[in-house]
Amino acid sequence: MFNLAGKSILLTGGTGSFGTEFVKTILQDGKVEQIIVYSRDELKQFEMAERFQSSKLKFILGDIRDNERLKTACADVQVIIHAAAMKQIPASESNPIEAIKTNVLGAQNVVSAAIDNGVERVIALSTDKAANPANLYGATKLCSDKLMMAGNSLRESSSTKFSVVRYGNVLGSRGSVIPFFLHKAKEGVIPITDENMTRFWLTLQDGVQFVLSSLERMYGGEIFVPKIPSFKVVDVAEVVCPGIPIRIIGIRPGEKLHEVMITEDDSLNTFEFDQFYAIVAPGSTNVSHYKKSAKKVSQGFKFSSDNNTWWHTHDSFKKLLIAQGIIN
């Protein structure tokens, strides 16, 4: 793990599912000097403060759209974890300008604030939907990823490093399909968009640990993608709500049949490690590090939830859900 001893961390969107798990993990480690939770919901900040009651936690009300407020919040910060985003696909489709302001312009504000304050390292959370985007949310996150990568060449005299972490569905996060299935089970039928649909799955703690390990290994200019298991959505429903009938309703606008985390075009700049992949920005001066320590994937390689070599079984997925306290 990256040595956080004496460091001050700014966590944007820090009251969300990832942010809460991240704060819990870092406070348990106990080495960090301060965690600044930067978000715009004062109630969630109050609830988080009540939950953790730590002198190492500081809360700043602010929006990543507000460049000046963000720059002020980044003073004396060494690490930024950028988790704030407008994530709901339907809301993004019906409010496109708002999604662009938050996900694109907000990301640019993070880059500017980090460089202006001499922040050491920045990790931005991305999504599988940014690879070959099929909806506005994915398109804005792709733009955000590009801005983060470009930050490494914009820094001039600054030593700030920018990297991105991209992963799929998170068990236990807000908006997860599992609470939706449990709710629909009470109505007697579970709607499934397509019986062949697959998704990647990982836990919140897996996501936190992957961010921390990426923070340690980053040179700047990479998109880190974890190797995680796939599982059919219809199988998820069978595990979570056994015996409940399923109704196929068809894929919704902007939805993909399978998740893609590395595209064929990405393969030209992708390196494989035992537990993850690194997509290195084209032209990055750091590509030499990866040529020495990793295997370059073959041209045309694609990492998607349907061609994955690692799959959950009904039993392994059920055990994971029980361990996470999601089902009994």
Active-site positions read 129
Q: In sequence order, what are the residues at sequence separation of 6 or more whose Cβ sits closer than 8 angstroms to the Cβ of residue 45?
A: 15, 37, 39, 59, 61
The Cα 234–Cα 253 span in angstroms is 19
The Cα 245–Cα 238 span in angstroms is 9
Please give the span between the terminal C-alpha atoms of the chain, in angstroms, as a whole number: 32
State residue 195 phi and psi, 5-degree precision.
Answer: -70, -15
Of 228, 111, 104, 207, residue with least CA distance to 163: 111
The Cα 158–Cα 120 span in angstroms is 9
Tokens found for residue 224? 């880190």
What stretches of 128-282 adopt beta strand conformation (E)?
Answer: 161-167, 169-171, 190-192, 198-203, 222-226, 230-232, 246-248, 260-262, 270-272, 276-280
The Cα 108–Cα 151 span in angstroms is 9
Contact 320, 231 (CB under 8 A): no
Phi-psi region of 252 (alpha: psi -120 to 50; beta: other; left: phi over 0): beta
Of 221, 236, 146, residue with least CA distance to 191: 236
